[in-house]
A and B are shown apart, each in its own frame.
Chain A
Amino acid sequence: NAGVTQTPKFQVLKTGQSMTLQCAQDMNHEYMSWYRQDPGMGLRLIHYSVGAGITDQGEVPNGYNVSRSTTEDFPLRLLSAAPSQTSVYFCASSYSMASGLSYEQYFGPGTRLTVT
């Protein structure tokens, strides 16, 4: 299994540009999430999905859109990039959140985004 994959690894955008961060998992996990990690801050949840066709907002959703058309893929779209969105973005998946042992989050390698 490849686990959770993310592309691109690095990206530089100009303010106002849009782009999509790709995330895919091959573990047949129900739950998928997007986090951002900034220096001095914990991982913060942007959006998450409990299954294909179902998404919901996390703690910091503004400026981002998601969709989940398949179990495997969960892309994150930046609508109009701003310098405040400079961060490291991690996609994660988990089998479910229904019982304690299934809470383990498997993270992708991350996308380092800089907005100038």
Chain B
Amino acid sequence: RKEVEQDPGPFNVPEGATVAFNCTYSNSASQSFFWYRQDCRKEPKLLMSVYSSGNEDGRFTAQLNRASQYISLLIRDSKLSDSATYLCVVYSGGGADGLTFGKGTHLIIQP
């Protein structure tokens, strides 16, 4: 069974701080990796894809470590609006049933 593991949190972080969380995956053949953001009682939305070389989008940086089978998300200068649940998603091929969603990490930014 494909597994994607995340620390559920919550991570309580003061506004302006830097926060990072990881996600581990069990299937070494996994092909693509993503971070989704889900606000309370809303649908998940794609935050960013994770590329092998790592990638940055404004205050957000995603990294992939294939050797240790984990991906990470770093948020710099955190804002109150970053409060959400962050879902790690791994694609292992084979179509829609190749997507595995982590249970999410709950982040609370405090003023």
Residues of A within 8 A of B (CB): 31, 33, 35, 40-45, 48, 50, 56, 58-59, 90, 94, 97, 100-101, 103-105, 107-110
A31 touches B96 (CB 8 A): yes
Chain B interface helix/strand/loop/mixed: strand
Residues of B within 8 A of A59 (CB): 97
Name the interface size band of chain B: 20 to 34
B96 touches A45 (CB 8 A): yes
A105 touches B46 (CB 8 A): yes
> In B64-111, which residues have CB < 8 Å from any A CB?
87, 91, 95-104
Residues of B within 8 A of A94 (CB): 96
Residues of B within 8 A of A97 (CB): 91, 95-96, 98
Name the residue in B36, B87, B96, B98 with the highest tally of chain A Cβ atoms < 10 Å from its Cβ.
B96
Residues of B within 8 A of A100 (CB): 31-32, 49, 91
Q: Is B25 an interface residue (CB 8 A)?
A: no
A-B interface pairs (CB < 8 A), number = 63
A103 touches B91 (CB 8 A): yes
Residues of B within 8 A of A (CB): 4, 8, 31-32, 34, 36, 42-46, 49, 87, 91, 95-104
**Residue among B42, B87, B91, B97 making CB contact with A109, cutoff 8 Å:** B42
20 sampled A-B residue pairs with Cβ under 8 A: A31-B96, A42-B4, A42-B87, A42-B101, A43-B87, A45-B99, A48-B96, A48-B97, A50-B96, A56-B97, A97-B96, A100-B31, A101-B49, A103-B34, A103-B91, A103-B99, A105-B46, A107-B43, A107-B44, A110-B42
